[in-house]
Structures are given as C-alpha cells and as structure tokens.
Amino acid sequence: MGKKHIIETNQEELIKEGEKVEAAVKKEAKVKSSNIMEGKIYVSSSYNNTIITLANSRGQVLAWKSAGSVGFKGTKKATSFASSRVAEAVANICKKLGVEKIEVLIKGIGAGRESSIRTLVAQGLNITSIKDITPVPHNGCRPRKTRRV
C-alpha cells in the first residue's frame, strides 16, 4: 500500500478558479444572448471520461466541462462520482446564464450516465426530455472472404 494521493486546494486556488469561471460565463453571456430560457445538455460518457456540454436551443455551445477539468485524474475520471461533480459544475453555469428548461441528450456507455442526470435534477433544473443518442451499428463490417486451400 502506497501513500494516499489527495488533491488539496487552498483558498487562493479556489478563488482564482471561481474568478475564471465567472469571467468565462460573463464573456459567453455577452457573446451569446443574455436571456436564454431553453438549452440542451449533451452528456458524453465513455469508459475513460465524462464530458458534459451546454448548448442553446440552436446547438451553439455555451459551456462545457469534463471530469478532467473539474480536477479528477486517471481512472477516477471514469467514476460516477466524477460525473456527478461535472454535472454540478454545469448546473451552476446554467443558473448563472439563466437557463430554465433543458433537454438532456446522452451518448455513450460509461458509468456516469445515470448519476449525471440525477445530479442535474437535484440541482433544480427543469428537464423537459431525456434522449439516448448512443450510436448503434446496424449490420456491422463486411466479413472476410472464405479461405481456399
């Protein structure tokens, strides 16, 4: 058993990170329309990471977060706990932008699918619909030709 690696953030780093998020949100709010009522949240959950993207109703990306950008490293990025933290960060951005109704589109087969939706609901966002857009192969690849001896 080795040493436990715990990521410790002091108050200065938390304040700097909060200022960066607020500056990014203000910048995005100026570029895009300021009163966005509806939006779409794309949850891409793979075996290695969870990426959540916030877009407006036209599909233009407003903000995105991943498990790595929230502070998880290595195999911890693929956990459901990490995806819930990512969803929490995106929900905070939604509240700052004023997004009320969201449509959730899920893609992938990772561990963070369900926990991210539960966290979005727990944060108080009004979810209108949940769709699964995971790509499914219809007939697969062409088989190899038969071997002749």
CATH number, position 69: 3.30.420.80
pLDDT score recorded for residue 7? 66
The verdict on residue 70 lying in a domain is yes
Of 6-10, 23-27, 36-40, 66-70, the least confident: 6-10
What are 16-32's pLDDT values in tens digits? 877 887 877 776 655 55
The verdict on residue 127 lying in a domain is yes
| Number of structural domains the chain divides into | 1
**Residue 67 and residue 77 in contact, taking contact as beta carbons nearer than 8 Å:** yes
The verdict on residue 24 lying in a domain is no
* Per-residue pLDDT at 149 exceeds 90: no
The verdict on residue 21 lying in a domain is no
3-state DSSP helix/strand/coil % of the chain, to nearest 5: 40, 25, 35
What are 56-76's pLDDT values in tens digits? 999 999 999 999 999 999 999
Confidence of residue 105 (pLDDT cuts 50, 70, 90): very high
The verdict on residue 71 lying in a domain is yes
Of 13-22, 48-57, 81-90, 92-101, the least confident: 13-22
The verdict on residue 142 lying in a domain is no
The verdict on residue 39 lying in a domain is yes
The verdict on residue 81 lying in a domain is yes
In the sheet with 101-108, reading across from the earlier edge strand, the strands are 61-66, 50-56, 38-45, 101-108, 126-132
Q: 97 lies in which domain range?
A: 34-132
